[in-house]
Structure 1
């Protein structure tokens, strides 16, 4: 009996230490990434909605993040076994208009949901992930451009709706319709910056500047403290922020600033200042010194292991964006890479659950926290795979653009025709309008006085 118990203990111990990640051991990162990818894809294949390519149970946007992480996994490890489900899912959810706004989700999603799919397509273009080989299929670059045109078409200029910005959600029946949030505008900014970086088209640069400048003046984020808030309400002229702190808000703007810094050859101080400011606030907010300073924590929910499905994905998104930042703004790599690899080591310690190395959400805990699910596996997959940037040779692993190896098919006129509800544009009130209103008021008041006097005389 004693021998059997010892044997069982050794067996369990061997299973729960399989994801030991060592900072200077590339193979350990690859092994961990393969384990998390296998678990994530198993969840994906076992979902109730598995007959719909790309569709997650109970959420839609996470499919875009999932494929983004798998594309990066393929790029960094060379493992192509999941490429078919990536192509199938991205192509199916692109919809009839080739802009990631399929009819199945119209009326129920926000701009940010659609943006994560567009950013996944942009990653595919930058990583030279093979375009969909189906005859007549639009390339990944073209799908990202189609979605961009939707967002451009939805931008609001009316002073009564804060003089710019994208709403969080798209139709009046949704709660987020009356608000504008950082991730919707930050992801649009990042998409514009990446399209500019890839294509060189100045229109995208103009939009990147427009979104960044509006975000600053709206109080979504402060370009002196670099603290990024979550959401503002239109009724308060976008000056009454919800100050909740989420890592993906910071990552979305930081990545866009890095692309703009690179494309402008570091000559526009705006982008270096912005990137540096956001990164420093990111480190101080989401990499607590009490956990060593190099392990990311989603501070609003991680300490209590109560992150919801959306929040569980944020660390994975941050890892994806930090990896790219280290490549397109290489002067940051000295700070960025330790944050990635430190988080990967912590994530590895959390991935010891059950008999197949299930990953938890508290990467700083040094053990599995008892939580599991596709989102935990997705974020772990992302940090393991994207930390491989630490072992990349300079100039060999970065994203490609249209002039340096990029071959995804363009479709700059796509999208922009989805037909979602648009609020009426109210013109500004002029002095003539006020004068006319005053005249009408006087005439109306005079008519009432005349009627009252007539009634009094009639008595």
Structure 2
């Protein structure tokens, strides 16, 4: 364990041993960290109502205007709570987490493609739930009840991966890669982005390690290579957001969001872990450059900053973006467990950032609600589930150094989760399977007219300012949005809409 160093950022002194804020915590004391984490977790769960009568299990309130959150963030929440259980041993939220991950899995495929969310279903949305299921398998989170023929956590992760590995998800535009959205009628279907492909890479790497099946790592390798070839990563491994298929992905949108880098860090660490010899050396080089660049971009002054929307004079982050810091803290800490040589560099970075995170937790009626900015030494008034997840991740991951946190297990090192290599079945939710006849066309004409009327209203609603933050940004500009083309138009749209 390396004590937290004293460091100064912008004239603000961050304490070495105890972060002075309404949320009191000694960052070098395991009991104090667990207590603070339990308080932040409790406050986080006040944003969740899915365990109340008449509410939908698994999701945060939304989507807008019914609430601030989209479906995918529920999946991210349960991944956070699984890590909370792992780091602290607190079993309070096991039943709610288990119920949520099962309820939203979308039977009969259990591939996290529930019919209720088709209108906003992206590969990244599906993937966030899949990563949480994978985490449950790796951490030996209690298995679902055997009665009722419930799928195991590993099977759920495999179902997501298998549906995303289907040929129709990897078309020939831009030389391969997955599109952002799954159904062709969704806004964003013309966009291939880093988070969708990064999650697929991440799942492939982790499934390869858990199962010892190199087919998964082959997919992961191909995905990394495609992202590099198309320009979603540059030579320094800056990770950019995405590009449109209409330009053959030449209009790379060079905004940098931290979760794009974070999801690749975790996946690359797993690829390093499962490799040997020259292949391992290759992944070490990639991982080292990715870690160095991520720290330089997002932790430049110590506290983590979401640079593309967290500006010195204002916050332009949408609800989604307000949650990214927590994922990066969790994924980087997890990377240390499978690539231990990263320890000092990563944990020193996360400790300083965690001290800053705690300083933001002095708001709300209880005086300990956490804000979004971590580099001001005070609560900024921006409250939400994402901000609580961020602070919880920052605090609890420091236990990596202070407790015996087991590394992710595999099916040969104690893992018990039930799997199915054929899970997910045929990904047929959005495909036509029979030859179209004249009668079909006549009926389809009527249905199409009705559907288009619905879509016009729906998409007008989404792009009218209520859509998921980043969806609005990339879709109303550039090649896919009918407006100005090219990166400049995209950047102007980013400034205008954040």
Which TM class, normalised by the smaller chain length?
A: 0.7 to 0.9
Distance 1:47 1:402, change over 3 A: closer
Task: Find the residue that maps to 2:413 and give its secondary structure.
Answer: coil
Task: Find the residue that maps to 1:125 and give its secondary structure.
Answer: helix
CA contact (8 A) 1:19 1:28 kept: no
After superposition, residues 196-275 of structure 1 pair within 5 angstroms as: 196-222=208-234, 224-265=235-276, 267-268=278-279, 269-275=281-287
After superposition, residues 40-439 of structure 1 pair within 5 angstroms as: 40-45=44-49, 51-56=55-60, 57-58=62-63, 59-96=70-107, 97-135=109-147, 136-154=149-167, 158-159=171-172, 161-222=173-234, 224-265=235-276, 267-268=278-279, 269-289=281-301, 293=302, 295-303=303-311, 304-356=314-366, 357-393=368-404, 397-421=406-430
CA contact (8 A) 1:362 1:369 kept: yes
Aligned length: 401
Q: Give 1:21 shift.
A: 3.3
TM-score by length of 2: 0.77
Higher relative contact order (CA 8 A, sep 6+): 1
Q: Give 1:375 shift.
A: 1.4
Listed as ranges, the gaps of 5+ residues in structure 1 are: 1-15, 425-459
CA contact (8 A) 1:187 1:252 kept: yes
Q: Does 1:29 align with 2:40?
A: no
Matches of 1:52 and 1:24 in 2, distance apart? 39
Please, which moves more after superposition, 19-28 or 329-338? 19-28
Q: Give 1:49 shift.
A: 9.5
The residue that corresponds to 2:4 in the other structure is none
Task: Find the residue that maps to 1:107 and give its secondary structure.
Answer: helix
Larger radius of gyration: 1
Matches of 1:21 and 1:326 in 2, distance apart? 23
Q: CA offsets, 1:92-146, max 9 Å, x none?
A: 0001111111111123211000000000000000000011114111100000000
Listed as ranges, the gaps of 5+ residues in structure 2 are: 1-19, 64-69, 434-498
Which protein is richer in helix relative to its size? 1
CA contact (8 A) 2:171 2:178 kept: no
Task: Find the residue that maps to 1:175 and give its secondary structure.
Answer: coil
Distance 1:158 1:149, change over 3 A: closer
Q: Give 1:154 shift.
A: 4.8
Task: Find the residue that maps to 2:25 and give its secondary structure.
Answer: coil
Q: Give 1:218 shift.
A: 1.1
Task: Find the residue that maps to 1:105 and give its secondary structure.
Answer: helix
